[in-house]
Structure 1
Amino acid sequence: MRVPFTKMHGLGNDFIVLDGRNATLPPIGSAVVAALSDRHTGIGCDQLIVLETSTRADFAMRIFNADGGEVEACGNASRAVALLHGAEAMVETSGGIIHVEPVGHGARIDMGTPHFEWDQIPLAYAMDTLAMPVGWDGLDQPSAVNVGNPHVIFFTDNCDAVPLENLGPQIEHDALFPERINVNVATVNDRNSIRLRVWERGAGITRACGTGACATAIAAMRRGMVEREVEVTLPGGTLTIEWDEHGHIIMTGPATESFRGTFDWGDYA
């Protein structure tokens, strides 16, 4: 069975998109996801995105990290899907329903409202999520935010100097985070801009993470470090994050279609 795909990226965070809205796809298993995601023997991507029909929204989006695990949300993929769909839409994800709207060479995404309670992150036990009394090898007092998926955010004088390739997997798999965690290290440049690096749960260090940018901006806003609209610059580029008067997170940024092709499902199953 040959299956068509679209390869896309948002600021270098790249995706294989399979459209199952008008065609039946075989069952998506973790082994197939991992095989397709492999950059040496597969198509290669950070996440596999599967579009499906929905009874609650215009369509549904499922998100699988490169290790095969399914996750709740992906901001960069949401912009890519908005560009691919080509029109304003409500999209069902396992993290909630989001509103997407193509804008120029990218999209504007209403990511919904953030969650801060310890059991909404979730954490293994109760604590203040604004400045958590925990630390790992020089990174301490993080914030935690759930923006459809869980994030922990560390503010540091120089996020580029943090050995994220070592600390990222250690923090991701810490027992404090029963569903694992996305790890963000950020430096606030001024009231309107933040630099950010992200270790993404199940994917590792990525050039960009839309939900990480949202979570980091919200954490900085809660701490009074930045204004209610801020530019977040990641290695792959810059996103604009706003926390609007209704409490919703609005993310605006680019997305790009790289190429299209087909593959034989049996080669990866």
Structure 2
Amino acid sequence: MKFTKMQGCGNDYVYVNGFEERVSDSEKPELVRRLSDRHFGIGGDGVIFINPAAEADFEMEMYNADGSRSEMCGNGIRCVGKFVYDKGLTDKRRISVVSAGKIKYLDLTVEGTDGSTGRGEVARVRVNMGSPILEPALIPVEAAGDRVVDEPILVGGREYRMTCVSMGNPHAVVFSEHVAQMPLEQIGPLFEGHERFPNRINTEFVEIRDRKNCFMRVWERGTGETFACGTGCCAVLVAGVLNGLTDNAITVKLLGGELFIEWDREENLIYMTGPAVTVFEGEV
């Protein structure tokens, strides 16, 4: 099976061309665990299959490193855009990608010129990530009221304040200080498996620098701490605005780079812009 290793801000996945490679659904969880292993496999935060789709230009079928399915990955979907253009699966610079039944729209920025094709390669991608979901039952999170904003939660014997948002997958955003020193390997699993999150949770720990900049670390369900999380950055902006901490557009600094996130309040749409990079290709 041929594969391509790609990363967006250090959030790395193994990509498989589902137009050419055939893997049964029953085989995928174990295959994903094997390929994602950083010691005995290729290594990555998970595996993404790029498939044909009836309702969009392409389908993104995403798996976490533990073999579980995930609904959306902002860094992953940018790399899907780069993959399909650079590989010649499309000539369009505006494409649609469906993941877990939800369609996202991507604008591809192409740079350079290949001498043989004259097409260049995708350097960065702007994604319409859709509207944030704030209703607790739809995130989901166990809570009273119609939103979870700056709400207390007891985790590991300590009280934190969280704001919950779904960007197609669930997020709990925690604003804090000294985020770089936080022991995420201890705190993250306690949030992920907390009884208030029926489908587990991705948790963002965020340090506000000013109204246009913040620093974020993230614990992703099914994977652990990653260098970046695109949907998490979108959730951070929403939480920042709802808590009166940020403007409607911010740069989120991550362990693996930076993402620019915008919230069009009139259309209630979140836009994410960031890089997409091919690391290497191979066959396994």
TM over 0.5: yes
Q: Does 1:4 align with 2:2?
A: yes
Residue aligning to 2:100: 94
Letter in 1 for 2:45: D
Structure 1 residue 210 and structure 2 residue 241: aligned? no
* 1:196 and 2:216 matched: yes
1:234 corresponding residue in structure 2: 254
Partner of 1:140: 160
The 5-angstrom pairing of residues 19-38 of structure 1 reads 19-27=17-25, 28-38=27-37
Moved more, 156-165 or 201-210: 156-165
Secondary structure of the structure 2 residue equivalent to 1:111? strand
Q: Which residue of 2 aligns with 1:185?
A: 205
Partner of 1:247: 268
Counterpart of 2:150 (choices 120, 131, 137) is: 131
Counterpart for residue 267 of structure 1: none
The answer to which of 126-135 and 77-86 deviates more is 126-135
Where 2:185 maps in the other structure, the secondary structure is helix
- Alpha-carbon distance between aligned partners in 2 of 1:24 and 1:69, rounded to the nearest angstrom: 19
Q: What SS does the corresponding residue of 1:122 show, helix, strand or coil?
A: coil
Distance 1:95 1:248, change over 3 A: farther
What residue is the counterpart of 2:88 in the other structure? none
Q: Of residues 248, 262, 267 in structure 1, which corresponds to 2:283?
A: 262
**Post-superposition offset of 1:45:** 0.7
2:273 alignment partner AA: T
Equivalent-residue separation in structure 2 for 1:125 and 1:88 (angstroms)? 39
Alpha-carbon shift at residue 95 of structure 1 (Å): 5.8
Q: Which has the higher mean CA deviation after the structures are superposed, 97-106 or 44-53?
A: 97-106
More displaced, 8-17 or 84-93? 84-93
Q: Which amino acid aligns with 2:129?
A: M
Q: Distance in 1 between matches of 2:185 and 2:106?
A: 32
RMSD (CA atoms): 1.4
Aligned to 1:53: 52
Code of the aligned partner of 1:101: D
Deviations 1:106-161 (A, max 9, x none): 11111110100110110134344112232325451210000010000000122112
2:192 to 155, 172, 176: 172
Moved over 6 A (4+): none
Partner residue in 1 for 2:79: 80
Q: Which amino acid aligns with 2:18?
A: G
Distance in 2 (alpha carbons) for counterparts of 1:61 and 1:26: 16
Q: Whole-Å Cα distance in 2 between the matches of residues 134 and 23 of structure 1?
A: 44
Q: What is the one-letter code of the residue matched to 1:98?
A: K
Secondary structure at 1:142 match in 2: strand
Cα shift at 1:23: 4.6
Provide the TM-score with structure 2 as the length reference: 0.88
Whole-Å separation in 2 of the counterparts to 1:232 and 1:217: 9
Unaligned runs of 5+ in 2: 86-92, 111-122
* 239, 245, 250: which one aligns with 1:225: 245
Choose 125-134 or 221-230, whichever is displaced more. Answer: 125-134
76-85 or 23-32, which deviates more:
23-32
Q: Contact 2:152–2:159 at 8 Å: present in 1 too?
A: no
Aligned twin of 1:266: none
The structural deviation recorded for 1:162 is: 1.9
C-alpha distance 89-217 of structure 1, shift in aligned 2 (>3 A): same
Hey, what does 1:13 align to over in structure 2? 11
Identity over aligned residues, as a percent? Answer: 38
* Matched residue type, 2:72: A
Q: Is the 8 A contact 2:49 2:60 kept in 1?
A: yes
Farther-moved stretch of structure 1 (159-168 vs 130-139): 130-139
Which residues of structure 1 form unaligned runs of 5+? 264-269
Is residue 100–residue 107 contact of structure 1 (8 Å, CA) maintained in 2? yes
Work out the number of aligned pairs and report it.
261
Query: What does residue 162 of structure 1 align with?
Result: 182
Residue 117 of structure 2 aligns with which residue?
A: none
State the AA in 2 paired with 1:90.
Answer: S
Q: Which amino acid aligns with 1:123?
A: V
